[in-house]
Structures are given as C-alpha cells and as structure tokens.
Amino acid sequence: MKKKSEKYSLFKAVFTLPVIIYSILLILVPLAFVFFLSFMKSDNYGGYLLEFNLENYGEVLDSTYLLIFLKSILIGLATTFICLLISYPFAIFLRGKTERQRNLIMKLVMVPFLTNSLIRTYGLITLLRKNGVINSGLLATGLISEPLNLMYNNIGILIGMVYTLLPFMILPVCSAVSKVDQNLLDAAEDLGAGKISKIFRVYLPLTIQGAFNGSLMVFIPAIGFFFIADILGGGKAMIIGNLIKNQFLTARNWPLGAAFSIVLLGLTFVLVKLYRKIGGDLDELGGG
C-alpha cells in the first residue's frame, strides 16, 4: 500500500512539475519584476533607474488618469449589463429546447469565437463603418437618412466589447438557468406570474450566482482589452488597457506603466475576493 502511495506521489509530481515551472518562470517572475519596476524611476529613454520611490503610484492619482480609470469602469459596467440583458432571454429560450437543439444552438454561438478575437474585431469594421453592412441596410430600408456613427467612439468600443465577451456571460447564465427547478416555474405560473414576473421572481433569485460568475468574467477583461479600444475607438477613447500599453510602448515610461498594471491587478484581486466572500467558487471561473 505504501509503495502504491509513493508511486502515485511520484507520478503526480512528474506531471505537475512542468505546470509549476511554467507558473514560476512565465507568471510569478514577470509579475515580481513588474511589481519591482513600479517602484523605480524612469530614465526618460525607455529604461529605469534603481531609485526606490512612490512617485509612480502618486501619479496614478492624477485627475487625468483617474478619469480614464472611471471611464474604463463605466465601459466595463455597461458591457456587463448589456451582456446580462442578452444572456437571460437567450438562456430562457434555450431552456425550452430539446437537448439536441440546445447543443446545436450553443455550437452556433461558440463556433465564431474559435477565431482569434483580433481578427473578429477587424471583421466588425465591415459591419460598423459608415458604408458598412449595417448602415447600408438601414439606409436602403429608409429607417435612417444618414449613416450612424458606430465607430471611432464609445459606442464602437461598447459594441466590440459586448461582441467579444458575450460568450463568457452566456455560458454561466445558461448553466444556472438550466438548473432551475421546473416545479417552481409551474407553481409561479399557477399563482398568476407572467413571463416577465417569472424572470424577476424565480429565475433571477435562483441564478444570481451564475450571473455574478459571468459578470466577473466580462467586467475584468472589459477594462483591459486595449485592442478593441484601439481598433473600434480609433485611438480617440482610452481605457486602462490602452493607458498601460501606451506607457510601455509609446511614452516609454515603464515604471509608470508597471504601477498602472499593479493597480489594475489590485482591482482584479478585490473583485475576486468579493466574489469569494459572497460564496463564489473559483473552480467555476476556471481557477483552482
């Protein structure tokens, strides 16, 4: 029995060692370097001076940067809310289908997202630009008299965020809705509850955990997906992700960029702690 246990421990160690090495070399070490860098001083030439200071974190509190943080949070919240509004009706619609139909519909939802998100974001340009598919269709039907500005503004960013992150909301919400007891829905209907009433009085209270799971998986990336703001915002609208990228690649102020990264990481950590505090399980988010 002891030999069997030792063999199992050795087997486990052999297969977990690569994961441990990967985590240390490609996650912990770079993260430790970014944390260290955030306390250094920029030499204005793309490098840094070994002078410990808190100036970078003080600069984070500048009103200009705080407005960018606030705007990023608002875009993240708006993205999350829209994804929730789409996901619940979709999940309830899916619940009424047969298992075969559900599998087919979910495949149709997920297949486009097997393509790289950067390519899909560029693909949105074909739909959203002034002479794109959406504007051409609306003009042809006479619903609008001039093209809508759907790109190079906050609307374009919001559309791109929702399009990219919607599956992360659909999956947990659909999973939670599918577990709602049919007897409760029947009882609510017998008591006179309509479709809207059932959503707010039965579905929402019983699926709040799934909604929070999805909200967390949508909100956190939404404040950091800089490529969507670059492509669909035309560089005119900036979120935290763009701010960090610009500090590293354009302004060449690595210490300040590192400080912004640590602040964003801290915000993520707070959200995850809040999630755990209300009873959330990290396994449901793909964590350990």
| Domains of the chain, first to last | 60-285 (1.10.3720.10)
* Beta carbons of 231 and 61 less than 8 angstroms apart: no
Q: What is the mean pLDDT of the chain?
A: 86
Q: What is the pLDDT of residues 114-167, one digit of tens each?
A: 888 888 888 888 889 888 889 999 898 888 888 888 888 889 999 999 999 999
Q: What is the pLDDT of residues 95-115, one digit of tens each?
A: 888 889 999 999 888 887 888
Q: What is the pLDDT of residues 35-62, one digit of tens each?
A: 999 999 988 777 888 889 899 999 989 9
Give me the helix-helix angle, 63-95 and 154-178, nearest 10°.
40
Q: What is the pLDDT of residues 213-264, one digit of tens each?
A: 899 899 989 988 888 988 888 777 788 988 998 999 888 899 999 999 999 9
What's this model's pTM, rounded to 2 decimal places?
0.84
